[in-house]
Structure 1
Amino acid sequence: MFQETTSPSNFPFSLKSKGPWDYQRTCRMDTEHRQSVLHVVGTSLKANLNRTAPPNSRFFSVKCTPSVQYIINPPPQEESHLSPVPLNGNSALSFSMKHASESENDNKLSVCYYGKDKELLGRAVMYLTAIEISLDVDADRDGIVEKNNPNKKSWKWGPNGHGAILLVNCDSESTYNKMPDTTKNRISKVSDLKDMSLMVLRTKGPAKLPEGYKLTMHISQGDAENVRVFRPKSPEVATNFLDKVFSNFVQDYPLVLSQENLSKEVPYLGGLADMNFYVEGLRFPDMNFDGLVTINLSLLEPISEGLPETPIFTDKVVFRVAPWIMTPNTLDPVEVFVCSMRDNVQFLKGMKSLISKNNLKLKVCYEYQNRGDRWMQDELEFGYIDSPHHQFPVVLDSPRDGKLKDFPYENLLGPDFGYVTRLAYNENVSSLDSFGNLEVSPPVTVNGKEYPLGRIIIGVAFPTAIKGRNMTKVVQDFLRAQKVQEPIALFSDWLYVGHVDEFMTFVPSPDRKGFRLLLASPDAGYKLFRGLYNDGHGQAKLFEGLKGQKPVTVEEILGDKHLQAENNYVQSCIDWNRDVLKRELGLDDDDIIDLPILFKMVVAKDEFRAVAYYPDMVNMIVLGKNLGIPKPFGPQVNGCCALEAEMCSLMEGLGLKCMFIDDFASYHQLLGEVHCGSNVRRKPFDFKWWNLKL
């Protein structure tokens, strides 16, 4: 039997109090029919008492079982709540339950209405069933899905921020006939679950919901192309033989939400229960997608047979899709990638010797894979994605699409190795879309603003150029949308190939900001050659001993006024970029080292553009403290190359060791160098991107 009470203990709440009264649902009292109402703990119900009162009602009183709490508005004037309360047009009753019910209709609230002489005119009885519902995620980013975190419905950057994180499931659990898992609308292996974010539906209440009530999960049409949700099959359903045979495969994890299913009923398990859901990201942030995804859970109430149900409670969670993050030269190398060609034996020999100093594994892409395309740097860029529960590398495939175009997909995509690309459907792809034109700085602080993951650097046409080449907009939009490595645009179209790695790179250092920016400098080159000339080495020769190359003396270089004019132009282009880099990276002149490198102009489509005069030493590979530098074949002085000696002097002061690799015939003469012909996968940052202050 119900034990009703009207004691003052039911009035401990003021109308200004926080808690269940913040989330109110309007309901109606009915004096003609007994009502059964499903109530969600943590919310409240509110009824206008005058609206459905019997005619001529002047007073009312409230009774309820002990688990029900209520407040009356306006508050009664009398200290005793046992006598009827005056009824007016604004009389309202707010009520709730503190705990979930053990059985259906196990609590009751009644309102009695009285006439002028306090005679009973009618009685509204409401039977209550309370359940607890919460849709939960890892909103505090500690790897644990906590219950009903108050910040789960929004996303905030920073170390004191909040909000759940979602990975794009862009690796492939299959090693045969593979494709990114985002292209499959199923879970093929249980190992795929670790790439997804856990979301938990927690419920507490009677064994089943009252008849007609149901739980549905839903997403918007806009979010449907960005996310999918799976759940384990209920144990009572997976009973047939085939389900057991295919254990750990798709039969065990049916699809809940997708582009085809924006809303779906989910089971209510009864009692105290948790149901796991697995959320899969499908798209990286981009120009038309800010990375935020919302998933909703609603409790639906039946009104009448033949009429749609209405939502009486909705919970929601918000995820942000993890960005793609590039890794700078200052992070430790993991793997080095090069191509094997018939003519690059010397280059490979030098690379193998270099990586042996770091105990790294050299991964060689052979000719049957590269099909004659040696430019490993230009086809792809390595990065990674990260969340509190999982992290894995992701290769960004360039729209360049040379003969190496299948390598990132066919050879890198796999378990815990993701793949992403951007296709330029309506844009002209130029040399500036090769990823020698895509670099990233080490962490910097600029005018008090921290960039703990560095800043991406790309090359574009000069702002005033009418017919300049540019990196495609689709790639630039993708890079900017990641937000965590705000891009910087440099002027690189003055180069024949047009890549930023032809005139700049970064190396680690033990002092100052933890790195140095290396810039190609014709001025430094001419200063070096003038010093050699003044010291009596004017007849020292560049390219001496190189097959098919005519040696050039220091005196001849200094006497070539046309070459000097060309290098003055090149220096002005580099200086323009130098000023941009100083401003955008917060650098001083002491953070920059000028390398002695000369250029020459060649004609390309009736325009003059620059190429390196001798192997471009700035176009190096950085492996910790070991540098693989193009062998410059500079003037020989006392049995040593003057350019190599200068390079060693500049680098060894930073604790770096120089190794010079012969790439002259196999790369330099084809307008590339060591960096262009290699690529490095590096360890991720220790810094977690979601702690970034934006």
Structure 2
Amino acid sequence: MLHRTLRVDYDQTTSVLCVIGSELRASLDRGAPPGSKFFSVKCTPSVQYHITPPAKETSHLSPMALNDNTMLLISMSAPSEHENDSKLSVKYYGDKNEELGRALLLLTAVEISLDVDADRDGIVEKNNPNKGSWKWGPDGHGAILLVNCDCERTYWKSPDNEDDRIARVSDLKDMSTMVLRTRGPAKLPEGYKLAMHISQGAAESIRVFRPRTNDVKYSNFAERLMYENFVKDYPLVLSSDVLSKEVPYVGDDGELKFYVEGLRFPDKDFDGLVYINLSLLEPIAEGIPETPIFTETVVFRVAPWIMTPNTLQPEEVLVCSTRDNIKFLKGMESVVVKSGCKLKICKEYMNRGDRWMQDELEFGYIDSPHQQFPVVLDSPRDGKLQDFPYNELLGPDFGYVTREPERKDVSSLDSFGNLEVSPPVTVNGRKYPLGRILIGVAFPTATLGRNMTKVVQDFLWAQKVQEPVALFSDWLFVGHIDEFMTFVPAPDRKGFRLLLASPDAGYKLFRGLQKDGHGEAKMFEGVEDEGTERETVDEILKNKSLRKQNSYVQSCVDWNRDVLKRELGLEEEDIIDLPILFKLVKEKCGTSRALAYYPDMVNMIVLGKNLGIPKPFGPRVNGRCALEAEMSSLMEGLGLNCTFIDNFKSYHKLLGEVHCGSNVRRKPFDFKWWNLNM
């Protein structure tokens, strides 16, 4: 209960506004006439009071002893119908029969409640006791706010949170509703007013709008029709320029809706919590500022950006069309059709020759009890696809966010082949029902290594709900974690398997071929590229330099294997090793980094039970590629179907594979992020 100190002076009549649910506290000794030793209290039925410390009464209304610490506590149980319709009087006595003075309070009671959806059921309930605080978990509380980062317009686009007005009524569904509820007289006593206010920090994160009230005068019927039935008029209440503003008291049993707009995601300098205050202000005298006598506070948490793992249902696959990737597109179309999802092809006039759809963007979504929509995170790599996420994806119910570092900070590790997320896992008893984000960085002891830029890492960490794990990927020439790992769904254990590139598994397969008399079988049979050397199994196994290079690669993969097992709670049975060999190439700076020797089968697209895998062009045995046969055997054991896609010339030779050249928008999690136990 809110407590408010009240002054009670003898021989004065004071009008007092009392808010239901709050308590007025008056020191009786402070306002008593000199020589007062006793007092008595009388009030109308709607007023409740008690004395502290408790006074001894011999009968109703008999004078009570007055001490220097005697406090009168006043409250009201029901709102007033009219101003000053309740009374309380205090009489002071020198002795029990000598009246020295009297104080009279004329009381007006109002009920004021600033309400939000604190129990997260999509309904703004009245006066939830937990509306001013946030608690995670299924038994938690606290309202949720979306960043209004989609765009209601389809032309001259910009995210709605960059516009300080509501241009279309449809934009309101992306905002959280807040309701001011009042009960009491038709209007507040003279001079009293309600003010809504926020801190400067909150103003960077939200805006508040309200509908124009019914007393608006329109110049003509056409203007009224436009405002009431087309776009309406929603004045801006609070923003970075207006931290406090008077709001209407609607009186009687009234309600006034407000719409709260989220402006930015949680980040290094913003924990996601926003507080909005409503104060009742009391006038003192003309020329003197009003003072607050009652304040309500509500809290919102801005919804995080959430990534979707391979185990979620695919909805749409995105690829680029280029002059040389017809075979790739045909293969992708085949696996997409099998999966029953959509295929969106970014034409050459849009991609301008940039085929790396995975590297340019990452799909995620934001969610609240009242609204959910996908949000694309635009990478800072900014190749020739840089305008695609903004120009082609941003739109109604499709949001956009990016983080822009200084240009000098951007490296290959900022491309989003280096950003993945695990399926849901449990680690040492702690559940991650939305999985954990995975990023590639330099080895911890490296001084000149490449890293994902800090502003992107800060953003990912600040979302909280998919706590990131850092992997070592700088040993790769391109430097992306999708070159050595991915996840596929599975019918048992944890519901998925981690697939890891394994030179050891590759050499084991090649030694088996040699032992079975297939040492003369050649690599890359059927590849339409005259510059590709077609080594035999025997030649690969004789190449000591290649073997040493792959020993180094295996040690790098094993480092990550241990991190993934520890951070995702995995066991060896949850991991499948894929037979993939690498080779080291020297960069201009003299550092040697790894590339896949043949198309990297781990760099696949996962669409439900259908896998689109780079065709490896391995040694052919009995008319079938031995690498494809091994891969199919490993995946078919999980009930997965393999489609091998020829991306040799169009992607592999350009240092990428199927996954690098595609992207998948997936169905969001059924699990609600606010139910996490944090």
TM-score range, shorter chain: over 0.9
| Structure-2 separation of matches of 1:343 and 1:581 | 37
| 2:632 partner SS | helix
| Structure-2 separation of matches of 1:555 and 1:442 | 40
Q: Deviations over 1:9-53 (max 9, x none)?
A: xxxxxxxxxxxxx32100011223311110000011011011011
State which of 589, 596, 611 in structure 2 corresponds to 1:612. Answer: 596
**1:141 and 2:141 equivalent?**
no
Question: 1:556: which partner in 2?
Answer: 539
Q: Deviations over 1:468-503 (max 9, x none)?
A: 000001000000000000000000000000000000
State which of 283, 288, 299 in structure 1 corresponds to 2:269. Answer: 288
Question: 2:564: which partner in 1?
Answer: 581
| Structure-2 separation of matches of 1:554 and 1:600 | 16
Contact 1:339–1:365 (8 Å) recurs in 2: yes
> Cα distance 1:117–1:169, how it changes in 2: closer, same or farther (>3 A)?
closer
| Structure-2 separation of matches of 1:505 and 1:579 | 15
Question: 1:3: which partner in 2?
Answer: none
Contact 1:139–1:164 (8 Å) recurs in 2: yes
| 2:594 partner SS | strand
| Structure-2 separation of matches of 1:345 and 1:72 | 88
| 1:378 partner SS | helix
| Structure-2 separation of matches of 1:671 and 1:512 | 34
Q: Deviations over 1:590-630 (max 9, x none)?
A: 00000000000001121000000000000000000000000
More off after superposition, 542-551 vs 383-392: 542-551
Question: 1:168: which partner in 2?
Answer: 147
Question: 2:508: which partner in 1?
Answer: 527
| 2:553 partner SS | helix
| 1:222 partner SS | helix
Question: 1:297: which partner in 2?
Answer: 278
Q: Deviations over 1:435-489 (max 9, x none)?
A: 0000000000000000000000000000010100000010000000000000000
State which of 184, 199, 202 in structure 2 corresponds to 1:223. Answer: 202
| Structure-1 separation of matches of 2:22 and 2:510 | 81
- Following TM superposition, by how much is the alpha carbon of 1:376 offset from its aligned partner in structure 2, in angstroms? 0.1
Question: 1:53: which partner in 2?
Answer: 32
Query: How do 1:370-389 and structure 2 match up within 5 A?
Result: 370-389=351-370
Q: Deviations over 1:639-690 (max 9, x none)?
A: 0000000000000000000000000000000000000000000000000000
Structure 2: state its 5+ residue gaps.
Answer: none
| Structure-2 separation of matches of 1:624 and 1:307 | 69
Question: 1:114: which partner in 2?
Answer: 93
> Cα distance 1:183–1:238, how it changes in 2: closer, same or farther (>3 A)?
farther
Alignment-mate amino acid for residue 522 of structure 1: P
TM-score by length of 1: 0.96
Question: 2:156: which partner in 1?
Answer: 177
| Structure-2 separation of matches of 1:596 and 1:306 | 83
| 1:477 partner SS | helix
Question: 2:41: which partner in 1?
Answer: 62
Question: 1:11: which partner in 2?
Answer: none
- Following TM superposition, by how much is the alpha carbon of 1:88 offset from its aligned partner in structure 2, in angstroms? 1.4
| Structure-2 separation of matches of 1:73 and 1:663 | 84
| Structure-2 separation of matches of 1:158 and 1:257 | 30
**1:569 and 2:555 equivalent?**
no
Question: 2:373: which partner in 1?
Answer: 392
| Structure-1 separation of matches of 2:10 and 2:286 | 22
More off after superposition, 231-240 vs 475-484: 231-240
**1:505 and 2:486 equivalent?**
yes
- Following TM superposition, by how much is the alpha carbon of 1:177 offset from its aligned partner in structure 2, in angstroms? 0.3
Contact 1:187–1:249 (8 Å) recurs in 2: no
| 1:334 partner SS | strand
| 2:12 partner SS | coil
Query: How do 1:7-406 and structure 2 match up within 5 A?
Result: 22-116=1-95, 118-237=97-216, 239-241=218-220, 242-247=223-228, 252-406=233-387
Q: Deviations over 1:262-285 (max 9, x none)?
A: 000000011001111111110100
Contact 2:378–2:401 (8 Å) recurs in 1: yes
Question: 1:517: which partner in 2?
Answer: 498
Contact 1:174–1:414 (8 Å) recurs in 2: yes
| Structure-2 separation of matches of 1:662 and 1:423 | 35
> Cα distance 1:553–1:238, how it changes in 2: closer, same or farther (>3 A)?
farther
More off after superposition, 350-359 vs 655-664: 350-359
Contact 2:42–2:61 (8 Å) recurs in 1: no
State which of 458, 462, 481 in structure 1 corresponds to 2:439. Answer: 458
More off after superposition, 512-521 vs 423-432: 423-432
- Following TM superposition, by how much is the alpha carbon of 1:239 offset from its aligned partner in structure 2, in angstroms? 3.1
- Following TM superposition, by how much is the alpha carbon of 1:243 offset from its aligned partner in structure 2, in angstroms? 4.1
- Following TM superposition, by how much is the alpha carbon of 1:221 offset from its aligned partner in structure 2, in angstroms? 0.5
Alignment-mate amino acid for residue 67 of structure 1: S
Alignment-mate amino acid for residue 220 of structure 1: S
- Following TM superposition, by how much is the alpha carbon of 1:332 offset from its aligned partner in structure 2, in angstroms? 0.3
Contact 1:205–1:272 (8 Å) recurs in 2: yes
Q: Deviations over 1:543-576 (max 9, x none)?
A: 1132212211000000000000000000000000
The runs of at least 4 consecutive aligned structure 1 residues that moved more than 6 Å come to none
| Structure-2 separation of matches of 1:247 and 1:179 | 25
| Structure-2 separation of matches of 1:221 and 1:271 | 33
Question: 1:592: which partner in 2?
Answer: 575
Contact 2:26–2:71 (8 Å) recurs in 1: yes
| Structure-2 separation of matches of 1:524 and 1:245 | 69
- Following TM superposition, by how much is the alpha carbon of 1:115 offset from its aligned partner in structure 2, in angstroms? 1.4
| Structure-2 separation of matches of 1:238 and 1:181 | 28
Alignment-mate amino acid for residue 611 of structure 1: L
| 1:555 partner SS | helix
Contact 2:63–2:96 (8 Å) recurs in 1: no
Contact 1:189–1:248 (8 Å) recurs in 2: no
Contact 1:238–1:252 (8 Å) recurs in 2: no
- Following TM superposition, by how much is the alpha carbon of 1:91 offset from its aligned partner in structure 2, in angstroms? 1.2
Structure 1: state its 5+ residue gaps.
Answer: 1-21
**1:688 and 2:672 equivalent?**
yes
- Following TM superposition, by how much is the alpha carbon of 1:92 offset from its aligned partner in structure 2, in angstroms? 1.2
- Following TM superposition, by how much is the alpha carbon of 1:244 offset from its aligned partner in structure 2, in angstroms? 2.9
| Structure-2 separation of matches of 1:474 and 1:522 | 34
> Cα distance 1:301–1:426, how it changes in 2: closer, same or farther (>3 A)?
farther
Contact 2:57–2:63 (8 Å) recurs in 1: no
- Following TM superposition, by how much is the alpha carbon of 1:368 offset from its aligned partner in structure 2, in angstroms? 0.9
